[in-house]
Amino acid sequence: MPRPSRLPFRAAVVTASAATVAALAFTIAPDAQAPDYPRLSDVVSAPVVTPSPNSPSPYRPEPREPRQTTRDEPRKTLTPTPSPTVAKPSKTPAVKRPIAKPPADIRISFYRDCTGHAQQCIDAGTLTMYAGKILAGHNYDGYQWLSRVPVGRTVRVISGPLAGTYRVYGHQYIDRQGGKIPAFSGGPDLVLQTCEGEGTGFSLLRRV
């Protein structure tokens, strides 16, 4: 039995496809259906950055309390003594003591360098250095012998600026307490001073 011819079917398919393409061409028009995109000249070139709501704020240090301290009272101004003066007692002893004999072996192991404020140290009962070469003490504090060391006696200063060995060569006396330091005879290297009655006595020594 001969097969039926398929030419009529193929012709129908081709005709239907052509009709479909024509319909699509009529429905989709590029110029009519394209969306209206913005032009490049209308686009803002610099982006606007907005911080995130959860982003941390910039660091700001907490204010600190000032470290300087304040004083309740104004600072006292220290003024140097304009010229050296002879230290004098600022109080009267309750009991007067006789002038003691100087020790046979004189060794001075402790004294304070109080140049500029010698009176305060002497009044505190301390053997005190002032004016570079004078060692002074109150007679009522046990230093009565300082002005009565015999001539020829050796005195040893163990430490400090006056450390060394000295020998007494003379004595000197002024009829006042305090005031300007006198000119010592013989140019002593060390002077031992204490009060004698209403005046002041000195033992004069040279370094050996």
> Mean pLDDT in runs of 10 for the chain (208 residues)?
53 52 50 52 46 51 64 64 58 51 80 90 93 93 93 95 96 91 94 93 96
The pLDDT of residue 43: 46
The pLDDT of residue 179: 86
The pLDDT of residue 50: 45
Domains in the chain: boundaries = 106-207
Question: What's the pTM?
Answer: 0.53
The pLDDT of residue 145: 93
The pLDDT of residue 71: 62
The pLDDT of residue 74: 67
The pLDDT of residue 49: 41
Tokens of 98: 């006789």
Question: For the chain, how many residues are written?
Answer: 208
CB 166 within 8 A of CB 133: no
Contact residues for 205 (Cβ-Cβ < 8 A; gap 6+):
149, 155, 166, 167, 168, 169, 188, 189, 190, 191, 192
The rounded distance, in Å, linking the Cα atoms of 111 and 119 is: 14
Residue 189, class by beta-carbon neighbours within 10 Å (0-12 exposed, 13-18 middle, 19+ buried)? middle
Q: Chain-centre distance of CA 34, in angstroms?
A: 81
